[in-house]
Chains A and B, each alone.
Chain A
Amino acid sequence: MMEEMIPVTYRPLLAILCPAIGSILIVLCGKWPNIREAWTLLASILQFLFIFSMVPVVIGGNIIRSTLFTAFPGVDFGFRVDAFGLIFAITSTFLWILVSSYSIGYMRSLHEHAQTRYYFCFAWAIFGAVGIALSGNLLTMFVFYEILTVSTYPLVAHDQTPEALFAGRKYLAYLLTAGVFFLAAVILTYHLTGTTEFVNGGIPNLAAEASRTTLMVLFMLFLLGFMKAAWMPFHSWLPTAMAAPTPVSALLHAVAVVKAGVFGIIRVVCFIFGVDLMHALGLGLVLISIAIFTLIVANLFALAQDNLKKRLAYSTINQLSLIIFGAALLTPEGIEGAMMHIPFHGFMKITLFMCAGAIMVASGKRNISDMAGIGRVMPVTMIAFTIGSLGMCALPPTAGYITHHFFVHGCVEAGGTTSYFPYILLIVAMLDVMYFFPIIYTAFFEHTQEQEEGENSIKEAPLFMLVPIAITAICSIIFFFYPDMFHISKLVETAVTSLFGGAHP
């Protein structure tokens, strides 16, 4: 029915406009909290429907293009919806629905101030994230990338305490500096090739137009530009940004913002440079080295954290590098794993963060050492947490296992030294176990004083928060048995097939 109603080329624009218009309505209805939150929910659901309605067209092997206007000769400002972009867009928009509901519970329970500003900025952050997912070239992507950075600042500094302000400042210092590097890279690409369009397999004339050194510099500029991917040593903004309210950490610092970074890296690797050029320049190995360094060091940092959100933040840094690692393998299976890990990790990590927030709302506890016996008080939350943790450790039956499967295959496919890298992944997974299982142990098997005396009452977070947690946790399991939920695996296949031609099985 929708096909006849709305021509397919308008849908990217409509999807983008949902949060933009929503944000205006949110401000206008700032005095009536219920109506305000209704707008958030309505905008999120509508946006998801618009995005999801594009799936059949894209799975059919088409790319939806809609150009708004021409900015420079050869650079259009517009959208180009392909399978890869759609994966990111589906993840962000679907999780926005759940987090909206979660936010309502969280913000009202804690009687947070400036809630209108919060919902307003949240909508704009999603606007930026989905814009990045759907954008058709580097310039468009840059515009949305900056919008995402600026709109998340008020969310990070939400508490307005000196620590929150410091976090906000650090956040901007890192990410807007990254934006400058990104801009430099965009302009350099345009200067060299006369285009910034994403092309399957890379911009064809890039290799011919520039010397080896220039291409290396260009790639480094891009990498610095995507500091949002929190690769080490440019990661420290992410743990600091945990000063934000938990829904923000959940959606933005586990899904939208950081995934925008890795999304950008994959876009550059596969759609600007192209796998062949990456191979020829030996840049895959550079990227793998950065990724492995981050994988291990982030996990070591995570071991030392007692604050639950901080530990999750380091785990996020680790998992993001896993995605970079997959892409850097430059093999079909590796890239498939990387693309698939974007939604899978999103669902699992958002579960963990939402659990952390639920614990904070229900019991006020932030540190792991205080959480003895919390599994008995909040069984649903902690079961969801356990599922998320299993996913982080790549254990079945969770979505994490599936992607690791791809990564290992990807390593083997790449051959040479790379075929030993699965052992590194194994070490990393063991480190994951070392910092996630103690939390589960503390929660379920240790007791507080009162519990030992036999008092035990269940005290869960409000339903507005509990339901989204349950949904994402269940999704993380369903993905294991049925990875094609939301057509994720079909989309990934379409994306990889179009990248590597028909040769891929």
Chain B
Amino acid sequence: MITIVEHFPVLVIAISLLSAFTILLAGYLNKRACWVISFTTILVQLVMSIFILHHVLTVGIIDYKLGGWAPPWGIQYVVDALNAYFLVLLLFLALVCVTYSKRSIEHELPDKIVSFYVLFQLLVTGLCGVTVTGDIFNMYVFIEIYSLAAYALIASRGGIALKASFTYLVLGAIGACFFLLGIGFLYSVTGSLNMYDLSCILKAGGLYSNRVVLAAFVFFTVGLSIKMALFPVHVWLPDAHSFAPSEISAMLSGIIIEVSTYAFIRVCFSVYTIDFIKLWPIFDFICWVAALAIIIGSVLAIAQYNLKRMLAYSSVSQMGYIMLAVGLSISTHHELWGGLTPALMHILNHALMKGCLFLAAGAFIYKAELWNIGDLAGLARKMPYTCFGFTLAAISMIGVPPTVGFMSKVYIILASLDAAKAGHTPYIIFVAVLLFSTLLNLVYFWRVIETMYMKSGEGSHSAPPKKDEIPLSMLIPVLTLASLCIIFGILWLMEIPMPMLDQVNALFGLGRYAIP
């Protein structure tokens, strides 16, 4: 007898998909209904995902067989601590963005409201699907669903955004092709598509050194690297982030590229397992690439004068942080910062910070079409709350204690030291890379803060400009995320136990659960 919560994984996707079509129909009757339906759906999904997380932590892994077909033939949804964590995070950010979008879309895309919400709901469907599925082909399908929705959403502004969307389309399609090729190669060797089944066959058959299996792994890695904009295949990201509507930029940077990281973690640890990873110096390679990404992303960010573009390059750098933490995960064994904990922690932290920054940047565009950093002069007097939110998140990106950015930085540094001690001596360089990146972050974020607060805009010497804040439904998301940057920072600092992170490590045999 399965409990109602065990139906939730499939319900999360089903209601989301149905709601997308409902919005389409309802939108023809009344445009205002779109936002209400979308908001309600995501809220319900979020509540469900919290129940799922609770169930996973207290009872155990949810294993749902779609249509009652037994795996490996039927599609199986497996939700463990890792998916549940991602699901909650992704739906929370989606909720924040959809709240924000109400007024901003009315203003920016007044004649595309219906299609925006349909696509947004499809995007959420795809993202949820990737996180809950336990079948690798099903994962590919969902990746395509959310990617297609994202291409369209990025293009929604028209004009130059079309070019950005097209670049993303081409590169995204190449990435997806690689992923599909990987699946095909694996299938040709194992004859299975179910992740758990695959891992069993690979292990039992001693296929870890099989050339085809290796090639498949390379395809997965390359494909997902493009999707998650890991340097040097990040070229689609700056355009896509800067020309998309801001709530979509927030989603793109905050969760969409991280979902690809999730897929990568899943493929590495659930399909190929830790034994395979340890056989080849794959994660070693990833670490170094990620370190390069951290530095080059930041340097490129310094060179930007468009605010959203700067944030986009910062995302490239932050993706480096996440992948560095992922790369370190197999060589760290500490109970607190061993295993995937720093990576998962930074994914949450980055979603909070970057979400806030992009939403604030969107607010500047909403109010006065301010795209460039130079235009922001004296804005702190006009929009004090938005600027305050932006500043909190920016300070967090720099990594000033006690914000989330500081905690990520400390955890990743400690993990690098741990790995260096465990035999990878050159990893000590990552400590320097991370600290140096702090300074680079400082350079480009402080420039913005200084312009907002310290420089005066035109004509401000005569009379202080009148306050001109964004509507409350946009301000609340910005301030919520900004305050969470501090609250979560203090929570991490207080070492509030995050049982799901520990469970993830236990699941994959990482961190303190690693077999020496």
Q: Is A146 a contact partner of B401 (Cβ separation < 8 A)? A: yes
CB contact between A160 and one of B421, B438, B456, B494 (< 8 Å): that residue: B456
Q: Is B494 a contact partner of A69 (Cβ separation < 8 A)? A: yes
Q: Tell me the bound Cα distance from A227 to B91 in angstroms.
A: 44
Minimal Cβ-Cβ distance residue in A for B398: A176
Interface residue? B450 (CB, 8 A): yes
For A133-171 the 0/1 string (1 means CB < 8 A from B) is: 000000000110011001000100100100011001100
Minimal Cβ-Cβ distance residue in A for B407: A71
List 7 additional A-B contacts (Cβ < 8 Å) besides A72-B336, A77-B494, A154-B453: A69-B493, A69-B494, A169-B446, A172-B442, A183-B409, A183-B410, A184-B431
Minimal Cβ-Cβ distance residue in B for A181: B435
User: Which 5 residue pairs spanning A and B have beta carbons closest together?
Assistant: A143-B401, A69-B494, A180-B435, A191-B417, A146-B400
Interface residue? B94 (CB, 8 A): no
Minimal Cβ-Cβ distance residue in B for A186: B410
CB contact between A169 and one of B401, B414, B450, B455 (< 8 Å): that residue: B450
Q: Is A187 a contact partner of B450 (Cβ separation < 8 A)? A: no
Q: Is A71 a contact partner of B417 (Cβ separation < 8 A)? A: no
Q: Tell me the bound Cα distance from A71 to B398 in angstroms.
A: 20
Contacts of A143 in B (CB 8 A): 401-402
Q: Is B395 a contact partner of A150 (Cβ separation < 8 A)? A: yes
CB contact between A177 and one of B336, B401, B439, B494 (< 8 Å): that residue: B439
Interface residue? B454 (CB, 8 A): yes
* Contact A187 B414, CB 8 Å, known A69-B494, A150-B395: yes
Interface residue? B458 (CB, 8 A): no
Q: Is B401 a contact partner of A187 (Cβ separation < 8 A)? A: no
Q: Is A165 a contact partner of B446 (Cβ separation < 8 A)? A: no
CB contact between B455 and one of A146, A160, A181, A190 (< 8 Å): that residue: A160
Q: Tell me the bound Cα distance from A181 to B446 in angstroms.
A: 19
Minimal Cβ-Cβ distance residue in B for A145: B401
Contacts of B454 in A (CB 8 A): 154, 157, 160, 164-165, 168
Contacts of A154 in B (CB 8 A): 453-454
Contacts of A457 in B (CB 8 A): none
Instruction: Name the interface residues of A99-152: CB closer than 8 Å to any CB of B.
Output: 142-143, 146-147, 150
Contacts of A69 in B (CB 8 A): 493-495
CB contact between B495 and one of A72, A150, A157, A180 (< 8 Å): that residue: A72
Q: Is B438 a contact partner of A180 (Cβ separation < 8 A)? A: yes
Q: Tell me the bound Cα distance from A160 to B409 in angstroms.
A: 32
Contacts of A449 in B (CB 8 A): none
Interface residue? A211 (CB, 8 A): no
Q: Is B455 a contact partner of A165 (Cβ separation < 8 A)? A: yes
Instruction: Name the interface residues of B404-460: CB closer than 8 Å to any CB of A.
Output: 409-410, 413-414, 417, 421, 431, 435-436, 438-439, 442, 446, 450, 453-456
Please report the total number of A residues contacting B with Cβ < 8 Å: 29
Contacts of A150 in B (CB 8 A): 395, 400
Contacts of B409 in A (CB 8 A): 183
Q: Is A71 a contact partner of B435 (Cβ separation < 8 A)? A: no
Q: Is B439 a contact partner of A77 (Cβ separation < 8 A)? A: no
Interface residue? A70 (CB, 8 A): yes
Q: Which of A70, A71, A150, A154 has the most CB of B within 10 A?
A: A71
Q: Tell me the bound Cα distance from A191 to B337 in angstroms.
A: 13
Q: How far is the CB of B63 from chain A (nearest CB, A)?
A: 35
Contacts of B335 in A (CB 8 A): 73
Q: Is B442 a contact partner of A176 (Cβ separation < 8 A)? A: yes
Contacts of A188 in B (CB 8 A): 417
Contacts of A168 in B (CB 8 A): 450, 454
Q: Tell me the bound Cα distance from A160 to B402 in angstroms.
A: 28
Contacts of A164 in B (CB 8 A): 454
Counting residue pairs across A and B whose Cβ atoms lie within 8 Å, the total is 66
Q: Is A187 a contact partner of B413 (Cβ separation < 8 A)? A: yes
Contacts of B455 in A (CB 8 A): 160, 165
Q: Tell me the bound Cα distance from A146 to B414 in angstroms.
A: 19
Q: Is A70 a contact partner of B446 (Cβ separation < 8 A)? A: no
Q: List 8 A-B contacts (CB under 8 A).
A: A154-B453, A160-B454, A165-B454, A172-B442, A176-B438, A177-B439, A180-B436, A187-B413
CB contact between A77 and one of B414, B421, B456, B493 (< 8 Å): that residue: B493
Q: Tell me the bound Cα distance from A69 to B402 in angstroms.
A: 13
For B466-491 the 0/1 string (1 means CB < 8 A from A) is: 00000000000000000000000000
Minimal Cβ-Cβ distance residue in A for B446: A172
Instruction: Name the interface residues of A301-345: CB closer than 8 Å to any CB of B.
Output: none
* Contact A142 B336, CB 8 Å, known A157-B450, A165-B450, A187-B417: no
Contacts of B413 in A (CB 8 A): 187
Minimal Cβ-Cβ distance residue in A for B410: A187
Q: Tell me the bound Cα distance from A77 to B407 in angstroms.
A: 14
Q: How far is the CB of A118 from chain B (nearest CB, A)?
A: 13
Minimal Cβ-Cβ distance residue in A for B432: A184
Minimal Cβ-Cβ distance residue in A for B402: A143
For A56-77 the 0/1 string (1 means CB < 8 A from B) is: 0000000000000111110001
Minimal Cβ-Cβ distance residue in B for A113: B464
Contacts of B431 in A (CB 8 A): 184, 187
Q: How far is the CB of B9 from chain A (nearest CB, A)?
A: 35
Instruction: Name the interface residues of B293-336: CB closer than 8 Å to any CB of A.
Output: 335-336
Q: How far is the CB of A137 from chain B (nearest CB, A)?
A: 13
For B43-68 the 0/1 string (1 means CB < 8 A from A) is: 00000000000000000000000000
Instruction: Name the interface residues of A253-296: CB closer than 8 Å to any CB of B.
Output: none
Contacts of A142 in B (CB 8 A): 401
Q: Is B493 a contact partner of A73 (Cβ separation < 8 A)? A: no
Q: Is A71 a contact partner of B456 (Cβ separation < 8 A)? A: no
Q: Is A183 a contact partner of B417 (Cβ separation < 8 A)? A: no
* Contact A70 B450, CB 8 Å, known A180-B438, A180-B439, A187-B410: no
Contacts of B439 in A (CB 8 A): 176-177, 180
Q: Which of A69, A77, A157, A191 has the most CB of B within 10 A?
A: A191
Q: How far is the CB of B444 from chain A (nearest CB, A)?
A: 13
For A404-429 the 0/1 string (1 means CB < 8 A from B) is: 00000000000000000000000000
Q: How far is the CB of A262 from chain B (nearest CB, A)?
A: 22
Contacts of B446 in A (CB 8 A): 169, 172
Q: How far is the CB of A24 from chain B (nearest CB, A)?
A: 13
Q: How far is the CB of B384 from chain A (nearest CB, A)?
A: 11
Q: Tell me the bound Cα distance from A73 to B421 in angstroms.
A: 18
CB contact between A183 and one of B435, B456, B493 (< 8 Å): that residue: B435
Q: Tell me the bound Cα distance from A146 to B396 in angstroms.
A: 12
Q: Tell me the bound Cα distance from A181 to B398 in angstroms.
A: 14
Instruction: Name the interface residues of B374-417: CB closer than 8 Å to any CB of A.
Output: 395, 398, 400-402, 409-410, 413-414, 417
Q: How far is the CB of B117 from chain A (nearest CB, A)?
A: 39
Contacts of B493 in A (CB 8 A): 69, 71, 77
Q: Tell me the bound Cα distance from A158 to B186 in angstroms.
A: 63
Contacts of B442 in A (CB 8 A): 172, 176
